[in-house]
Amino acid sequence: MTFRTRLLVVFTLAVVASVGMVEWLVTRATREAFERVERQRADVLAAQFQREFDRRGREIVRAVEDIAQSDAAVNVAISSDYSAFYNEASAMARAHGLGLLELVGGDGAIISSAEWPVRFGYVEDWLASPSGWKPGTAFLRREELPDGFTLALVAVETVNAGGRQLYVVGGQQLDQDFLATLVLPAGMRVLLYRNLEPQFAPHLLAGSADAAADAQEFQPLIEQVIRERRPRVATLGSGAAGETVHALPLAGIENNLLAVLLISSSRRELVELENSLGRNGAWVAAGAIFTGILMAAWATARVTRPVRRLAESAGQVAAGNWSATVEVTSRDEVGQLAQAFNRMTHELVEQRQRLVQTERVAAWRELARRLAHELKNPLFPLQITVENMQRARESHPAEFDEVFREGSRTLLAELANLKQIIARFSDFAKMPAPEMQPVNLNALVAETMRLFEAQFAQARVTARAELAPALPTVSADPEQIARALRNLVLNAIDAMPEGGALRVRTMPQGSGARLEISDSGKGLSQEECERLFTPYYTTKTHGTGLGLAIVQSVVADHHGRVSVESQPGKGTTFRIDLGDR
Amino acid sequence: MSPHQAQLLWGRMASYAAIGNRRACRLPIGTQLTKLPHKQPAPKIRGSRLPFWLRLCLTSEQRRASPSPLTVATCIFLIWSLLPASAATRPRYGGTLRVEIQASIETADPPQLGPGMADLAPAFAITRWEAGRRAAYVADENAPGGRPFLDAVEVELARPPRDQAIDLDVGKADLIEIPPSEARRQPAGRRTWVSQPVRVLLLLFGARVDDPRAREALALAVDRTAIFNVLLQRQGEISGALLPQWLSGYAFVFNAASDTAKARELAAAIPASARSFSIGVEDAALRPIAERIALNAHDAGLAVAVAPQAGAADVRLLEVRIATADPARALAAIAATLGLAPPPPADSPDALYNAERGLLEGFRVVPLFHLADVYGVAARVKGAPGISPLGEWRFENLWLESGRP
């Protein structure tokens, strides 16, 4: 991963994290605000329920008082035969808008019951209880009806006439109708669980269209409130179907928990708001991320452009272009780095020039030394021969001819040797430009091996050619390549004075070909390997030290590469790669 | 002489006084003076040796046997005391008697049997019949007992009791039915005609309630006294017998008291599934009684619910009408109506008692009350009571004060 990519990823992650953080903060703030509003609405609804509860209670108290003060009630109270009045309560209840009404004698026996007419004669013990009820106050009570128990808001008044007492017990059921009178904000509903049975019963949940499903949902909360007898808030369901439910216990006059009021607020609005925020946030985040990526890309490009130029310049320097420089466009750290780079390359160029001069001087010295050495060897016999010929002329004239002949031969031989040395230097100096043409290295190798067959035999060298059958042709000067190959073969023969094995291999290398020459000679040290291609360097007692320099020159002219691999005692392998660009 | 017999005699004497004034009144020996149900064969009049006026005062049963001196003396006293009164009120011809009843008779033809409209024949002939709504009858000029004083009788059907009472108050009706629960609420001075307790209210268990303990538990759980005092407003009689006391004379022997404790014991001894059943009632006026019975049953540990469909209920609250003054025939008719085995023929009170006791064994049938027919009568309706002791309509001797002189 490039520095620019890494920088881009970091910038992008930073943008995404920032947008995500903002989104989370907005969502959290929205939820808290919504829940605060929802709590306020629930409190308002609870207060409304309490007001409605109180209002209904006052209405019931008023109706019961009206009944108690009516002549009809007095007539019932003073009657000696209650049996004629068993239907009286129904008419009274209808006239005063009460759902429940019982006329109860002083002994607690029901005289007339509107809600359960045939229950006359049964005794209402709780009326005689001193702590049971207070006149003028409505309270919750569990009332028995023909089809089961119900929860009612009731009030009691007494009629005292003619020394007899009559209880008037009137009320209203707290049921669906009662809840329907509450004005509910959108998204809210009120349910009432009437705690009329020892175990939870779904049918006792009023105010729900789908009581069975709701009962199952509310059951744990209701049971918890009944158990703990204190308000609870819970979130039921999930997603848009979820509800926040405030559960309030409602107690009767004996502090018995008779009902649980459930004020439910739908979370649909919140969820939809959150979804909307999420969608909008996603769009904004996508836009922000896209913009951030663009800006990050621009900033990254701006930041990394000088660095990239530095890298490119460093690459050029590495490739040999020592004059590569970087444009300095800023004064920041990157600018300072560019200046330092330019200084460094400038110094490198200067050092290289100095080195080249030094090497050139060293090369000339080496050349002079080698030339002196090479020329000194034949000059010495020439000098000796000439001196012998002079001594023979002066001291032994009779033998002068013989000495002259001998001396002439020697002189000619040494002169030929000098000529050969000069020719070699001349060849190295006159290395021509290669004339490229398609060359089959296998054919070239085979021909070279045939030329050296006699020398192989004389040097007791076992030569072997391993030629790749599908070797591609390479573009090369066959004469120069053959010359390089011959130099390497001669080097190999020289490396095996006691004989040995020579192997020449060809093989495909990338889009080009490789030529490999291996010998089983004494091998080279690491230092020798490093200096091997230096002109005039040789490890042999004879030779000019130009063979491998010529090989390297030829291969370089062909844009190829030559390398050597050797270990002392394990032979040497030269590799020439051609045509692989 | 029992009060029932006295009332019977009073009606017969009043009829006699009126009959004496009706045109073309011919009374051949053997003429049936007391209307009998159509299916009931006419009794043989063996008392033709008795004086005519005395035969009018006696029931058919009394005519079969020789009346006691006390009976004869009572008859003479009643005739003597009623003659001046009837003489003071001269019958008038004409007018239409407007009758309202609660029953809704939906048959294609007017009823030919049973009390009520079927009793109008042969003195009145049907002229219009609207099933479930109204019926109109006109006096038959050639009626066997002579032409009735009334020109016509109009009967309005399916009239609720409350509307009947209003119609009577405002003068739109001359004769209305009064349910037992309203009998004691009648305005002061309102005339009522009351028959003998001729309707037996009872519980009939279906085959599904096969455990006699469950049936007995329910029978013992019913608090007849509370129902009688409140729901029936003390109209009729509490009874544990099928035949009313006035008819059999031994009805009081059958237990009619509730015993909730024993009922609870019995209920506890039976499986839970057998403790639950439904009670059905066809007549809406009887539904409060059924609900009270269900409440009593609940106190005894039984789960009894009032079924909306009476036919499918496990127990039915029924009203069976006694259509004859012959107790043996009445018992047989009740048994036949309830689908019970026919009782053995009874020619003595002991045999009759044993027969009835046999019917009640096993608590398949639980008699509760005997109820009378009660009618409210407008002030302009004159003449003898328009109903017989068995609740039969006897309108041929009635006249209206506003009728033609």
Contact B259, B273 (CB under 8 A): no
Query: Which residue in chain B is spatially nearest to A144 when comparing CA positions?
Result: B295
CA dihedral angle for residue B216, residue B218, residue B221, residue B223, rounded to 10 degrees: -110
Residue A514 has a pLDDT of 92
Q: Give the strand pairing for B191-205 and B237-238.
A: unpaired
Q: Is the pLDDT of residue B19 over 50?
A: no
Residue B389: is the preceding peptide bond cis (ω within 30°)? no
Q: Average pLDDT by consecutive 10-residue portion of chain A (581 residues)?
A: 77 81 83 80 77 87 94 90 88 92 93 92 84 83 86 91 91 83 77 88 78 79 90 83 85 84 80 80 80 80 78 82 80 82 84 79 73 75 84 85 86 84 74 84 91 89 91 89 88 88 92 92 84 71 72 86 88 89 62
Give B231's DSSP letter. Answer: I
Residue A271 has a pLDDT of 80
The Cβ of residue A502 has, within 10 Å, a number of other Cβ atoms equal to: 26
- Cα separation of B242 and B228, whole Å? 17
Q: Is the pLDDT of residue B81 over 60?
A: no
| Contact state of A117 with B184 under an 8 Å Cβ cutoff | no
**List of chain B residues whose C-beta atoms are within 8 Å of the C-beta of residue A119:** 295
Query: Which residue in chain B is spatially nearest to A83 when comparing CA positions?
Result: B230
Task: Provide the pLDDT confidence category of residue B77 given band limits of 50, 70 and 90.
Answer: low
Q: Mean pLDDT check: name the lowest of A249-263, B77-91, B192-206.
A: B77-91
Q: Token pair 């409602």 is at which residue?
A: A250
Residue B31 has a pLDDT of 36
Give span(s): CATH 3.30.565.10, chain A. Answer: 437-578
Report the gap between the CA of A103 and the closest CA in chain B (Å): 14
Residue B168 has a pLDDT of 93
Cα A455 to Cα A448, A451, B81, B359, distances in angstroms: 12, 8, 185, 150
Report the gap between the CA of B292 and the closest CA in chain A (Å): 5
Backbone phi and psi for residue A9, each to the nearest 5 degrees, phi listed first: -65, -45
Return the H-helix or E-strand segment holding A400.
helix A400-429
Task: Provide the pLDDT confidence category of residue B144 given band limits of 50, 70 and 90.
Answer: confident
CATH number of A70-173: 3.30.450
Return the H-helix or E-strand segment holding A443.
helix A441-451
**List of chain B residues whose C-beta atoms are within 8 Å of the C-beta of residue A113:** none
| Contact state of B229 with A118 under an 8 Å Cβ cutoff | no
Q: What percent of chain B stands above pLDDT 70?
A: 77
Task: Provide the pLDDT confidence category of residue B65 given band limits of 50, 70 and 90.
Answer: low
Residue B32 has a pLDDT of 38
Name every residue whose Cβ is closer than 8 Å to that of residue A468 and which is 6 or more positions away in sequence: A442, A505, A506, A507, A508, A513
Which of B223, B229, B230, B278 is the best substitution to test chain A (most A C-beta atoms within 10 A)?
A: B230
User: Which among A83, A87, A118 has CB closest to B295?
Assistant: A118
Q: How many CB pairs under 8 A join A and B?
A: 26
**List of chain B residues whose C-beta atoms are within 8 Å of the C-beta of residue A117:** 288, 291
User: Which among B229, B233, B292 has CB closest to A118?
Assistant: B292
pLDDT tens digits, B313-361: 999 999 999 989 999 999 999 999 999 999 998 889 999 999 999 999 9
Query: Which residue in chain B is spatially nearest to A119 when comparing CA positions?
Result: B292
- Cα separation of A536 and A538, whole Å? 6
**List of chain A residues whose C-beta atoms are within 8 Å of the C-beta of residue B260:** none
Q: Is the pLDDT of residue B222 over 80?
A: yes
Task: Provide the pLDDT confidence category of residue B129 given band limits of 50, 70 and 90.
Answer: very high
Summarize the confidence of residues B218-238 as an average pLDDT: 93
Pick the CATH number of A437-578 from 3.50.50.60, 3.30.565.10, 3.30.70.60, 3.20.20.80: 3.30.565.10
**List of chain B residues whose C-beta atoms are within 8 Å of the C-beta of residue A103:** none
CATH number of A174-266: 3.30.450.20
Report the gap between the CA of B164 and the closest CA in chain A (Å): 19
Residue B37 has a pLDDT of 37
Instruction: Inform me whether the C-beta atom of residue B233 falls under 8 Å from chain A C-beta atoms.
Output: yes
Instruction: Inform me whether the C-beta atom of residue B354 falls under 8 Å from chain A C-beta atoms.
Output: no
Backbone phi and psi for residue A212, each to the nearest 5 degrees, phi listed first: -60, -50
Q: Is the pLDDT of residue B173 over 70?
A: yes
The pair of structure tokens assigned to B69 is: 């001196």
**List of chain B residues whose C-beta atoms are within 8 Å of the C-beta of residue A121:** 223, 226, 230
Q: Token pair 């002109």 is at which residue?
A: A535
Q: Which amino acid is at A198?
A: P
Give span(s): CATH 3.30.450.20, chain A. Answer: 174-266
Domains delineated in chain B: 3-88 (no CATH), 96-194+374-400 (3.40.190.10), 196-372 (3.10.105.10)
- Among the listed residues A41, A37, A40, A46, the one whose alpha carbon sits nearest the alpha carbon of residue A231: A46
